[in-house]
């Protein structure tokens, strides 16, 4: 009899634990279902965004090709390219550039010495005229 009572007590405890475990498993399953629902929603949103991004990229390709064909600045770029070629000439030949610059400076100084607006470089070999006062 004592064993039957212990057996009943143990079986009721096991049933109680089984019920508790089943309830906790059910709670875990409910949470997982909720998380799976959110994941499915996020996956659908990601799919929509990827489709929209693909459409936008395709539109950008068309915009770029259309812009290249109808660009009003391309005519200005040819003139800019010619100017850049002229500048590259001096970059490729720096000695010629320096020679031209030195020649311009020498011509400018020679002109300044002849005209001499400030009378700094006057020819002092000529006697200075003075008046004598009484």
Q: What is the pLDDT along the chain (134 residues), one digit of tens a residue?
A: 668 888 888 888 888 888 888 888 889 888 999 999 999 999 999 999 999 999 999 888 877 777 666 777 766 777 777 778 877 887 888 898 899 999 998 888 777 666 665 555 555 555 567 777 76
Is residue 107 a part of any domain in this protein? yes
Q: Are residues 2 and 63 in the same domain?
A: yes
Q: Are residues 55 and 81 in the same domain?
A: no
Residues 90 and 26 in one domain: no
> What's the pLDDT score for residue 74?
67
134 lies in a domain? no
pLDDT for 8: 84
Q: In this structure, are 64 and 105 located in the same domain?
A: no
Residues 2, 67: one domain?
yes
pTM, rounded to two decimals? 0.36
> Looking at the 3D structure of the chain, how many domains does it have?
2
Q: Is residue 32 located within the same domain as residue 12?
A: yes
Asked if residues 72 and 66 have their Cβ atoms less than 8 Å apart, the reply is no
Domain-ending residue, one of 71, 92, 111: 71
- pLDDT at residue 102, as a whole number: 94
Residue 127: per-residue pLDDT: 58
Note the pLDDT of residue 51: 95
pLDDT at 13: 84
Cβ neighbors of 100 (< 8 A, separation 6 or more) are none
What is the span of the domain harbouring residue 109? 73-122
What pLDDT score does 126 carry? Answer: 58
The answer to whether residue 129 sits within a structural domain is no
Q: Which of 35, 53, 71 is the last residue of a domain?
A: 71
């Amino acid at each position: 009899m004592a064993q039957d009572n212990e057996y009943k007590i143990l079986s009721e405890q096991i049933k109680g634990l089984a019920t508790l475990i089943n309830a906790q498993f059910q709670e875990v399953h409910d949470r997982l279902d909720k998380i799976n629902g959110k994941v499915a929603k996020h996956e659908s949103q990601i799919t929509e965004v990827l489709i929209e991004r693909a459409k936008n990229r395709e539109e950008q390709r068309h915009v770029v090709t259309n812009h290249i064909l109808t660009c009003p600045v391309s005519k200005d770029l040819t003139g800019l390219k010619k100017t850049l070629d002229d500048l590259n000439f001096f970059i490729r030949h720096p000695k010629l550039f320096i020679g031209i610059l030195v020649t311009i400076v020498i011509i400018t100084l020679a002109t300044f010495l002849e005209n001499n607006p400030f009378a700094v470089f006057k020819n002092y070999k000529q006697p200075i005229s003075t008046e004598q006062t009484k």
